[in-house]
Amino acid sequence: MSWSKLKQNLESFLCPALQGRVEYLATSYRYLPDKAGLCNLAVDKNNVLNMSDPTHRIRWYQSELEIKNDSDIQIPVYDEDLEAVRKEFKGNVPEDRLLVIATSRKKSEYAKALLSAQSTLCKSNFIVIATKFLSASIEESLESDDILLNVLALIDRRVGKKRILNMSEKMKLKHPIVQYFYELRLSTL
C-alpha cells in the first residue's frame, strides 16, 4: 500500500475531536537507499512521536537503569509476586526484603519490555505496524505491547468514552508516549 493511501486510511479512523489536530508525517531519502526514512506523529503541528528529536517533551529511555530509577514509574507488586520470591528462596528471606526483590524484578521485566518496544521507528516499521493496525481488531491493538499499535488505537474513533475511562490503570504501565496520547484522548471527552 502506498504511503498516501495508508495515511488516508489512518486519518479516516481518527476520532472526530482529533481530526485536524493529529497528523501523520513521513520522510523518505530518495538518493540514500540505506536510509529508510522516519514516520512521525504530530499533534497541533508539534512533532510528538519522533525518537530522534531531542527537543520533544516525551521521555525516551536509553537504559534499563534509567527506567528503574525513574520515580514516575510505579509498578504494582502482587501477592503472587511475593510468593514466587518466597518460594525461590525457600522462605530464607526476611519479609521486608521480599518486597524489594519482587519490585526490582518487576522493574527489570518492565524495563526490558519498554526498551524493546521503543526501538527506533523507521518508515518501513511504521508502514508494517499501521497496516497491521488497519487489519486487526481494536482490542488486539489496545492489548498489544507495541507502542505504535497502542497509540493508533487510542486515537481511533472506534474506542469509546467508557473504554477510555476504564483504561486508566493499564495506562500507568505503558510507555510515556502512550500515556501522552491517552491524556490527549481523555482531554477530548
142 and 183, same domain (yes or no): yes
76 and 46, same domain (yes or no): no
* Domain closes at, from 93, 117, 141: 117
Predicted local distance difference test score (pLDDT) of residue 138 = 92
Predicted local distance difference test score (pLDDT) of residue 59 = 59
97 and 153, same domain (yes or no): no
**Residue 107 near residue 68 (C-beta atoms within 8 A):** yes
Compute the distance between CA of residue 179 and CA of residue 128 in angstroms, rounded to an integer.
Answer: 23
110 and 73, same domain (yes or no): yes
71 and 32, same domain (yes or no): no
Compute the distance between CA of residue 22 and CA of residue 15 in angstroms, rounded to an integer.
Answer: 10
Predicted local distance difference test score (pLDDT) of residue 33 = 54
Rounded mean pLDDT for each run of 10 residues along the chain, 189 residues in total: 85 91 76 60 82 52 75 82 87 84 85 66 70 91 87 92 90 85 91
83 and 159, same domain (yes or no): no
178 and 163, same domain (yes or no): yes
137 and 113, same domain (yes or no): no
Structural domain of 38: 3-60+118-187
Total count of domains within the chain: 2
* Domain closes at, from 92, 117, 142: 117
Compute the distance between CA of residue 29 and CA of residue 35 in angstroms, rounded to an integer.
Answer: 6
What beta strand segments (E) does 28-132 contain? 39-43, 46-49
42 and 130, same domain (yes or no): yes
Compute the distance between CA of residue 86 and CA of residue 50 in angstroms, rounded to an integer.
Answer: 42
Q: Which three cell numbers stand for residue 94?
A: 526476611
35 and 104, same domain (yes or no): no
Compute the distance between CA of residue 146 and CA of residue 129 in angstroms, rounded to an integer.
Answer: 9
Grid-cell match 507502542, residue found: 147
Predicted local distance difference test score (pLDDT) of residue 162 = 92
